[in-house]
Amino acid sequence: MTDRIKELEHALQEAQKSTGGASGSHPLLRPSVVKDDDGEQLNLQTLFDQEAEGISDAIGSLSIGIDGQAKYHGESAGSEYFQELLPPEQNERRMLQDAKNLGLPYEIVDLCNAFPFGLRDCPYTKHQFVSFLPTRERALELAELYYDNVAWMYDPIVRNDFMTTIMVPIYGNTGIVNVDSVHSHRISVFFMLLASGILYDNHPSAAVIAEQYRALALASFGLDSVLQEATCATVQALLMIVRYIYISDRTNNETRWLLVGMCSRVAQIIGLQRDSAGWNLGHEEIQRRRVLFWEIYTFDAWTSVVNGRPPSLSINHTDCRFPDDLDPTLKPSGNVEMGWHAWKFRYSAFCLSISVQHVFSARVPSYSTVLELDRNIRKFPLPNHLQSPMQVSEAGRAWSSERTRAMQQYCALCVRESNLLYIHRSYFAQATREASNNPLTHKYAPSVLAAYRSACRLISSLRGLYAVHPLATSLQWFFWSGIYSSCILLGALVVESPRCSLARNALQELDQALIFYDEGSVNCRPPATITMLQKLRQRAFATFTAAQTGILDRSSPTSSNPSAPDELEVLGGRKSIITNKSPSSSPASHATSSPHCGTYHTLRHASDDFIKQFGSANPSLMEYYGALGNPGLVLPATKDFDMPYVGDQTSGEYSLSPLSGSEDYNTPSQSFDLGQHIDSMTYGDNQRTQPTYQQSGRSETIQPRQPDLQRHAQSENIPTREYNQEEIWRDFISHLGMSRPNQS
């Protein structure tokens, strides 16, 4: 077809020449044109160039190796991932466990090396794994460790499912091993569960045994190639492998990223994105598929945000309903609150999904959209048992004495505050650079405060959790990653805006957070992170001191190597191209831990300096906090970002009333009707009504489009806002011309 078109164009050209046509080319040979509403002709290339002006300037960072190897992280990426892009101070080989060094037979090593696709013609069988299975009693011990220490956050195979589909078929009632009826991918799930569980065992060889179980999981996964068949167990195994790598090897991010993508693709192959109720499957299979989809969706979405790369799954491509809540909490009053996993799935669908669309839109949405997203995140209801105190305890709140419950308390806070940090960070960077003397006068002043307060909240709350459950907290890198990003933000505020009224407090927070991070994260952090924070603290202190003495020189280089990239440019997500002479590696850190945690310094919101600063604040700042129900601009770090309290419920139903802009949701006495806004779920007689979402009636529309959340609900007759294609397109076009100022 292309050749034929070229022939016709050539013939038309020749015909025009032979007939002595007028000067200029034939209309059909001119560049493609369209007409606007007034009939004016517009060149398509011109249109594209105009639209391209709306593309975000904060496109992230690209690392290019000497042979063309490339690695990209977008502007939302977690700071520790940007650190991988910086030129290394020294070369260091990654110490990765190799299956051939684990004392396993050749057949197992061969299969392990073929992961994830397996061998083309596999000569091995499941029976070659029987000798590596532990006793039934030991398997149950490790399973208990897994569910206590790992599955509290992500639980792709719930305990009852594990027992009925894996433990009983393998061990039966006698404890004698038999794998004849167990699919190889379920064997992989079993070994992966054992590997994850033993990481938390006090066995002296736990780390080595964990690697052996991991190798056995990879090997058994390859017995039946994923290219030929896939089941729910296939997806479970892949997600559990990713989680194991996250826990045990902080240097292996790219392996995790690729496997998450593969996991998502396999999930789509077996149709997890579509709800299973219409296929007349059994109740257990339907619940298994729903649990698995929402675990994958949540993990994929969050992984994409912290890596700064688009996700594999989209909320707009699924109608999968939420699974049954297997862990509801009974209040003393007899009313019921949703459990952690049920809340997590709903937050992912209603908040994280929209954040993902916002973060990865190449064309920048309006700033009002960002603030509306901010408000939706803050007002998303949180059950009482998941609310966390600011420090060790406070009136009406305390950390649970049960370790896993306390972890879930902080995780709920960490997810929300980190989410806010990521959506505001690029605006924070622009404000602090473009209005360095007083970023609170900048049009993005709300983002400055929002990011600063989220950073303080992440740090102070984790300090409280650490005081109650130090060992468990010290092993959760997901928590410490938020502290690392918070420290980067605090340091950036001081370096970029040392004369800002927040700078002194930010430097104090950074000092205390650095001591805390050094002590608490030693068991799980990437080795180079503490060195990076120490350098940033030195730079922040020097800049602040110079600003206070009046000798600050903004033109002086920030790096001893003028040709090297500015670390804050890279860590802040700004456009950077970094050329490495060798593959990136992280320098080792030998910083000693401090036994002292320090005292948390809250905002001096009552100080004259603070009030004076707000006296000249940008009007958008006043509007922002007025819309949050805090028109007096009272900004205590412990309260104004709290989730609304869930009031008493009746008949065992969740309830929350829609929030108006004038409501002060810091007041504990207020009650909310959770059923009208998020969810209606009745417990009793095996009847469970799935959640629905109702718009709060705001006139401002979030763009990109909010997902059609009615598809995720079993409850009918819920009034949800439907958008036609014209409205979607009109909103989309209206945002194309709204670009941010160039970042300096």
Reduce the secondary structure of 497-562 to three states and give it as a string. Answer: CCCCCCHHHHHHHHHHHHHHHHHHCCCCCCCHHHHHHHHHHHHHHHHHHHHHHCCCCCCCCCCCCC
Question: Cβ contacts of residue 192 below 8 Å, gap of 6+?
Answer: 213, 214, 217, 237, 240, 241, 244
Q: Is the pLDDT of residue 555 over 60?
A: no
Confidence of residue 714 (pLDDT cuts 50, 70, 90): very low
- pLDDT of 449 strictly over 50: yes
Cβ atoms 643, 387 nearer than 8 A: yes
As a whole number, mean pLDDT of residues 12-36 equals: 57
Q: Give the pLDDT band of residue 13 (cuts 50, 70, 90).
A: confident
* Predicted pLDDT of residue 91: 38
pLDDT at 579: 54
Residue 103 pLDDT class (50, 70, 90 cuts):
confident
- Cα atoms in the 13 Å half-sphere on the side-chain side of 589: 20
Return the higher-pLDDT residue of 626 and 161.
161
8 C-beta neighbours (distance < 10 Å), count = 11
Q: Using 50, 70 and 90 to split pLDDT, how confident is the model at 287?
A: very high
- Residue given tokens 């309260």 in the structure block: 639
Q: Does position 733 have pLDDT exceeding 60, yes or no? A: no
**Angle, CA 473 vertex, CA 80 and CA 467 arms, to 5°:** 120
Residue-level pLDDT at 90: 40
pLDDT tens digits, residue range 639-661? 332 333 333 333 333 333 322 23
| pLDDT of amino acid 608 | 42
- Residue of higher predicted confidence among 304 and 665: 304
- Are 494 and 507 contacting, i.e. CB atoms less than 8 angstroms apart? yes
CA distance 120 to 489: 49
Residue 331's pLDDT band (cuts 50, 70, 90): confident
Q: Could you give phi then psi for residue 63, rounded to 5 degrees? A: -100, 130
pLDDT of residue 101: 82
How many other C-beta atoms can be found within 10 angstroms of the C-beta atom of residue 544?
Answer: 20
Confidence tier at 393 by pLDDT (50, 70, 90): low
- Stronger pLDDT, 100 or 713, i.e. the higher one: 100
* Per-residue confidence (pLDDT) for residue 603, from 0 to 100: 34
Top mean pLDDT of 15-19, 78-82, 357-361 is at 357-361
| E strand or H helix that includes residue 49 | helix 44-52
CB 519 within 8 A of CB 482: no
What is the token pair recorded at 699? 């006139």
Angle 185-189-195 from CA coordinates, rounded to 5°: 140
Q: What is the pLDDT of residue 10?
A: 73
**Contact indicator for 288, 300 with CB cutoff of 8 Å:** no
Residue 3: its H or E element: helix 2-18
Does the pTM surpass 0.75? The reply is no
Give the CA diameter of the chain. 97
Structure tokens, 645: 């309290």
pLDDT, mean over the chain: 74
Say yes or no to pLDDT of 3 above 80.
no
- CB-based burial, 131-148: b 16+ in 10 Å, e otherwise: ebbbebeebebbbebbbe
Mean pLDDT confidence for 291-300: 98
Cα distance between residue 711 and residue 714, in whole Å: 8
In this predicted structure, the answer to whether residue 122 has a pLDDT above a threshold of 50 is: yes
- Minimum mean pLDDT range among 373-387, 413-427, 619-633: 619-633
| Cβ-contact 350, 693 below 8 angstroms | yes
* pLDDT of 70 over the 60 cut: no
pLDDT value at 589 more than 50: no
Region 215-228: what's the mean pLDDT? 95
* DSSP string computed for 614-639: HHT--HHHHHHHHHTT-TT----TTT
Considering 9-18, 132-141, 595-604, the range whose residues carry the highest mean pLDDT is 132-141
> Could you tell me which residue, 10 or 692, shows the higher pLDDT?
10
* 78-82, 413-417, 627-631, 691-695: segment of lowest average pLDDT: 691-695
pLDDT higher than 60, residue 584: no
**pLDDT tens digits, residue range 35-57?**
444 444 444 444 444 444 444 45
pLDDT band at 75 (very low <50, low <70, confident <90, very high): low
All structural domains of the chain with their residue ranges: 2-52, 99-317, 376-627
Residues 85-99, mean pLDDT to the nearest whole number: 47
DSSP per residue, 358-395? HHT-SBPPPHHHHHHHHHHHHHS---GGG---SSSEET
Residue predicted with more confidence, 172 or 679: 172
Core vs surface per residue 35-70: b (16+ CB within 10 A) or e: eeeeeeeeeeeeeeeeeeebebebbbbebeeeeeee
Rounded to whole angstroms, how far apart are CA atoms 357 and 217?
35
Average pLDDT over residues 133-153: 97
Above 90 in pLDDT, residue 256?
yes
Cβ neighbours of residue 536 closer than 8 Å, sequence gap 6 or more: 487, 488, 491, 495, 510, 567, 568
SS3 571: helix
Residue 125: pLDDT band (50, 70, 90) is very high
Please report which confidence band the pLDDT of residue 166 belongs to, taking 50, 70 and 90 as the band edges.
very high
- Mean pLDDT, to the nearest integer, of 204-227? 95
Q: If you count them, how many residues does the chain have? A: 744
Taking only the tens place, the pLDDT of each residue in 497-539 is: 999 999 999 999 999 999 999 999 998 888 788 998 999 999 9
**Nearest to 249, CA basis, from 95, 389, 383:** 95
Work out the average pLDDT over 705-725.
Answer: 40
Lowest mean pLDDT among 108-117, 336-345, 692-701, 708-717: 692-701
Say what the pLDDT of residue 640 is: 30
Can you give the pLDDT at residue 249? Answer: 84
How many Cα atoms sit within 13 Å of 452 on the Cβ side? 32
Helices (H), 607-715: 608-615, 619-627, 674-677
pLDDT value at residue 362: 78
What percentage of the chain carries pLDDT values higher than 70? 61
